[in-house]
Structure formats: C-alpha cells, structure tokens
Structure 1
Amino acid sequence: MNANTLISINEQKQLVAKTISMPASYLDDYHQHPWHQVIFPVSGLLQSEIDNRRVVVPHNALLYIPAGTQHKSVAFTRTEFAALYLNPTSKVTFCHAPKSCLVTPFFKELVLLLLKKADAPDNNATSNLLHVLNDQITAAANYEIPLLKPKDRRTLAIFEGLIDQPATRLTLAQWAQQVGASERTLSRLFTKEFNQSFRAWRQHLRLVLSLELLTTTRSIQDIALSLGFASDAAYISAFKALFVNTPHTYRNGVLQAKTVYSL
C-alpha cells in the first residue's frame, strides 16, 4: 500500500509504519508525505536527496524527514528499510528540519520497538515512546555521509565502472582516456561536485560498497581485497574513520537488527 494511502486511512493514529523494498538502481523520485517520516535501513544502500542535500544512509544511521518536505531516494543495491510515519497533529511536536542521525544501540531499539507498536491501538505508552523518539532525534549527532553518485556523464561513467569492478586500479589519467575527457577536467569535476580528490572519492565509494558485503559471511580480509584495499588493516582503519565503528562491530549490528526486525 502506498504510504500516503496508509496515512489517509489511519489519520487518527499517532504512528503508522511499513517496510519498503527497492531493487538495485530503483529511483523513488521527488515526493512528500503529510506526516513526518523516519527511514531506518535494514539492508542495502540508500542515497537520499532533501532540500538540495544528498546523503548516504547506512545501517548505523537513520533519516528524519519533516512532513511536507520534498525528497527522493535511489537504491545503490537491493535495499530494504523500515519507515515510520509520525502524525504532526499528535501530542508530540517533532523537529522542523530534516536530519541524518547517528544511531546508538538505545536509539535503534527504540525505533524497532515503535515499528512493532505501529499496529497496536494508540495509548499513553505510544505517546511516551514518541516523546523519547523526538528527544533522541534532537540529541543525536549529525551523521551525514556525502553523496557518491555523480551527475556529469563522464564522472558517472567512472562511478558505474567502479560499481561493477570496485577493485580496479585505473588512474584518473587512464579513466580520462576511457570517458573522453582530460585528466585535469575530471579532477576539476570531482572537486566541484564532491569537494574531494578522485582518490578520496574512490575510497569513499569502496567503503560504502563494503557495507553490503558485510551482510554476507565473507571474511573482512576477503572484502578488503575484493574492493582494492592493500590489506585488511588498511580497510579497517579507513572504515572506522568514516563510519565510527569497525567493520566487525558494524556487521554485528546489521545481523542483530535483522534478527529483531524479523520477529
């Protein structure tokens, strides 16, 4: 059922929820909801655009979108996420600005509990939990992983090539020959769109791609080498710098969330 239809037939409730699955490369183009929305990834990779800001939402983050805010999302890989819709006329006054939040273990359990509560009748316990949710969104650290997918056709060709073969070691000069642009032009495009060098952007992309691989049983070393890292130590260090946690901690969090989510 469409989210806005679900909202319209439950307009007296404080909270409704649904799970959303997207195949790889699926684009959910610009739209809005009359209620606030919380997006919590369960698996896969999602890049969302809100108010001209584009962010990647991994498993240890969630995205809060106020009611009436235009947004769109694209799935890098097959993606599943839980969506909470929060009635803006309820007893809880939620934030007025979108926010990508770092999710603590308590925050995660709260969201998963509300996901279960969504099918139950409204009561004071639900109101109390929603007050706590708003407090958590307000207090949470901002956690924005910048966009990865380029708009220019030449840099987009590099993006698509690395999605298919992330371990490729082609230099920017070699990519320039393939996509029909000078190395200087490509360098300028990466700086303009991502405020990063090509090498930094490529590592960023590889790290984000590793999130999906961490949902499998492949070893950390195998994942690191398959993505083009020199060693598992180099991968672990880079992963922790971007995602706060180690790959092992992240993997355990994914597996735990999937277990609780499926109950």
Structure 2
Amino acid sequence: MVWLAPSDPFDADQLARPVVGIASRMVQHDSGWHSHARGQLLFAYAGSIRIMLPDATSILPPIRMVWIPPGTPHRVTIRSEVEYRSIYLDEMRVAAPFAGTAIVAMTPLLREVFERMSLQPFDTDWSAGAAQNLLAVCLDELATARHEPMLLPVPSDPRLARLDIEELPPGLEDLSCRIGVTTRTISRIFRRETGMSYQAWRQSWRLLRAVDLLASGLGVTRVASDLGFSSDSAFIAFFRQMTGETPKRYIDKRG
C-alpha cells in the first residue's frame, strides 16, 4: 500500500516501473511551480485541489481528474484538508491517454480502478496479471471519458497582476477603478489573451467555482450567495445556461 505522509520524500521520475501510483492526505499545501518527466493523472479523492498551469487554472473536486503531460509546469494548491490520488505514467512505455492537458469526468468505475492503482507497491509488475488488467481498464476508461471544459485561461498582462483569481472577480467597472486601466483596455486584453470577453471570463470563473462548492456538499442557496447572485433562481438559471442542466442534476450525474 503506497500511502505517503506529507513529509515523505517522493520523486516518481526516480522510480523504475512505468506506472507509479500514490495516495496522500494534505492540509493547506502549496507545491510551488514544478514539472515531471512523466505524465501525471491527478484526482482529489476527498476535498478540492486548485491546479495552475502557465496560462490556465482549474479546480478539481472529486468529480473530475486532470492529465498533465510530461514536462508541463504546474502548481497545486490546497486550502483545506484533501485526500488525493496520483498516477504517473512513463510515456516511453505506456501510451499517453490524451494529446495535451485534459480535464475529464471521473466515472464510478474509473474511480475504483484509480484507487486500486494508486495503492499498488512501487515495485508492481504492470506487464502481467491483475496489475496489467487494471492498467488496461484505466486506459480504456480514460479513452471514453467525458472531457470537461473546466480549464480557465488566465491573462498574463502585468496590468492585471492585482486580479486575484482566488476570489470572486469584480465587475468590469469595479476592476477598472481598482487597477487604473480603462474598461476598453481590459476588454482588449482579455479578448487577446483568453479568447473571451471579461464578462464571459468572469462567468466561466463563477461556473468553475460553483461546481467546486456544489461538489463539496454546499447547497444552492449558499453557493448562490457566495458567488454574488441575487437569488437561488438567478443562480439556477445561470447554471442551466452554462451547462444545460440544473445544479443538482449536474452534480448527481457526475458524483
């Protein structure tokens, strides 16, 4: 059983097997920017993880997992207590499940397979027996997993350095006053660097955060209030417009 304490030294790139799985529990952790020679599948078994890439960010509640290709700089932050599972794949010996960074829905079967793989000893032989079957099922499930459009592009323009993406982004006029940049300039920056207007980007942020809060067990009323909606019905209408489903149905289908 490969259960790592936060203080345990670990470097998947130094291990010999083509597949390495780990399980760990952390509280208020910041990995700092880093990368791996192996590709990484990362999943929050309980709690939520924020994953940051050079040009995008996302939140991983227990209904989603991320594939980080080899050599991709990333940073993982945890605000509360999280149990996470991670599987590292050597692409020289195991086919990559996706061509680039991807966030996909965690199915019940994939969740069970992922759990078993993450707890296998580091010296497991993945070329035979039950371990080989587990790997095959995992890759098959990943091949058909539903992709989630939950990677939010982040502008790099230094004039927006004071925009805190950890908190609810302000309205356009408010942001303009805070950073001393015209609304037209802000809109131009967001169009150029994210491919969407500031308002569309802000709505995408709210959706990302809404799914995180709902998946953590908070009710619609609390989520609507936290995200600045005037009422439950306004939040539900927004959520349905963005996803095609009510909040409850969305979470139930992915839980």
Normalised by the length of structure 2, the TM-score is 0.75
Q: Distance in 2 between matches of 1:61 and 1:216?
A: 12
Q: Report the Cα offset of residue 186 of structure 1.
A: 1.1
Misfit runs of 4+, over 6 Å? none
**Counterpart position of 2:188:** 188
**Counterpart position of 1:106:** 109
Q: Contact 2:105/2:145 (CA < 8 Å) preserved in 1?
A: yes
Name the aligned partner's letter for residue 33 of structure 2: D
| Between 201-210 and 124-133, the greater mean CA deviation after superposition | 201-210
For residues 119 and 62 of structure 1, do their structure 2 counterparts lie closer, same or farther at Cα, with a shift above 3 Å needed?
same
Does structure 1 residue 132 correspond to structure 2 residue 137? Answer: yes
Q: Distance in 2 between matches of 1:247 and 1:45?
A: 20
Residue 147 of structure 2 aligns to a residue whose secondary structure is coil
Structure 1 residue runs without a partner (length 5+): 257-263
The equivalent position to 1:155 in structure 2, one of 160, 184, 188, is 160
Say how many residue pairs are matched: 242
Q: Contact 1:63/1:99 (CA < 8 Å) preserved in 2?
A: yes
CA displacement 1:74-119 (0-9 Å, x = unmatched): 43744743211234566x5444723412322322232223223457
For residues 174 and 241 of structure 1, do their structure 2 counterparts lie closer, same or farther at Cα, with a shift above 3 Å needed?
closer
Q: CA RMSD in A?
A: 3.5
**Counterpart position of 1:259:** none
Q: Report the Cα offset of residue 190 of structure 1.
A: 1.9
Q: Distance in 2 between matches of 1:159 and 1:132?
A: 40
Q: Report the Cα offset of residue 39 of structure 1.
A: 0.8
Normalised by the length of structure 1, the TM-score is 0.73
Q: Report the Cα offset of residue 21 of structure 1.
A: 3.6
The equivalent position to 1:86 in structure 2, one of 86, 89, 97, is 89
Q: Distance in 2 between matches of 1:127 and 1:75?
A: 32
Q: Contact 1:57/1:63 (CA < 8 Å) preserved in 2?
A: no
- Correspondences of 1:95-244 after superposition (within 5 Å): 95=97, 97-100=99-102, 101-118=104-121, 121-122=124-125, 124-147=129-152, 149-159=154-164, 163=167, 166=168, 171-214=171-214, 218-240=218-240, 242=242
Q: Distance in 1 between matches of 2:172 and 2:136?
A: 50
Residue 138 of structure 1 aligns to a residue whose secondary structure is helix
For residues 76 and 159 of structure 1, do their structure 2 counterparts lie closer, same or farther at Cα, with a shift above 3 Å needed?
farther
